[in-house]
Amino acid sequence: MKVMKNVLRFKSTLQVLLTVLLILAVNGCKNDDKDDIPELPPAESFLMDFSFFDDGVPQDKKTVSSYNNFGYSVANIGLFSLATLTNIAIPAAVYAEALNHEAVYLGDNSWQWSYSITISQATFTSKLVSNRISNDEYTLQMFVSKSGSEEFEDFKWFEGTVRYDLTSANWTVYESPDIAWPVATIEWRMDWEKELYTLRYNCQKPDSDLHGAIIEYGITDETSFDAYYDIIYPSNTINIEWNKTTRAGHVKSLSYFVDENWHCWDENLADAVCE
């Protein structure tokens, strides 16, 4: 009788353990659910904002002010802005169009956004495909066919890894169907609660003057200067900060200014004494 009770007790304990393991397994795995569509990160996770420096230095010839500090910043940002326009702006625009379309479920936790977009008289037919790799992350791959001049078909223009909570995304952008190397790798980090983020370009194109250079753009909660660029060359680092409201800012560059001090500009973008 005692042996029988022990057997029953063992069976009861075993059933409890199996139930617990089953619950943990169900909660620990993401089911193959066609309603569980991943949300795409915003276009800002891909394309850097250079708009503050687009206008350049004021051209009023009557002014006696110097714009050296702001002008130096413009010149350096302009190099990356041009490289972005050449290599990243179009794939970023093709990606941004995906945000306007519904995805189709492919099965096995995979989705596809299919659409066409015309840019500068060229039509791009795109397939953006997602695949779950864990409960936290999924991958995205963009396959593009182009009609018009310099046609190509099913070129994997970029790929990336995205967190489901949209707090980060990492992208790799490729140059062309004929050239296998990456143009750039991109890292995006987002704090949705504070609405702050950073976006970093690592320039990879071997035949570019910017090969090996890094630029990071960020929006911060600092009071004086709430936006910045950090430009990192192999031989020099340039730090640029400014206030989005007042437009005042400052720049630091050891190789250019031959010191480690900040060099400021005021609300009119003219050189100013740093406080």
pLDDT digits (tens, 9 = 90+) for 170-199: 999 999 998 878 999 999 999 999 999 999
**Rounded average pLDDT over 242-259:** 97
pLDDT tens, 20-59? 334 334 444 444 555 589 999 999 999 999 999 987 887 7
**Rounded Cα gap, residues 78 and 80, in angstroms:** 5
Given this model, what pLDDT does residue 13 score? 45
Q: What is the pLDDT of residues 190-243, one digit of tens each?
A: 999 999 999 999 999 988 999 999 999 999 999 899 999 999 999 999 999 999
Assess if residue 183 is contained within a domain: yes
pLDDT for residue 10 is more than 90: no
In a domain, 129, yes or no: yes
Please check whether residue 5 lies inside any domain of the structure. Answer: no
Is 29 among the domain residues? Answer: no
Query: Which pLDDT score is estimated for 64?
Result: 57
80 found inside a domain: yes
Q: What is the 3-state secondary structure (H, E, C) of the chain?
A: CHHHHHHHHHHHHHHHHHHHHHHHHHHHCCCCCCCCCCCCCCHHHCCCCCHHHCCCCCCCCCCCCCCHHHHHHHHHHHHHHHHHHHHCHHHHHHHHHHCCCCCEEEECCEEEEEEEEEECCEEEEEEEEEEECCCCEEEEEEEEEEECCCCEEEEEEEEEEEECCCCEEEEEEEEECCEEEEEEEEEEEEECCCCEEEEEEEECCCCCCCCCCEEEEEECCCCCCCEEEEEECCCCEEEEEECCCCCCEEEEEHHHHCCCCCEEECCCCCEECCC
pLDDT at residue 29, rounded to an integer: 43
Six-digit token string for 20: 């617990």
In a domain, 10, yes or no: no
Identify whether 170 is part of a domain. yes
Instruction: State the chain's mean pLDDT as an integer.
Output: 88
Structural domain boundaries, residue 262: 44-272
Residue 148 falls within a domain, yes or no? Answer: yes
Per residue in 47-102, pLDDT tens? 999 999 987 887 764 565 799 999 999 999 999 999 999 999 999 999 999 999 99
pLDDT at 7 over 80: no
How many domains is the chain partitioned into structurally? 1
The per-residue pLDDT for 33 is 55
pLDDT at residue number 180: 78
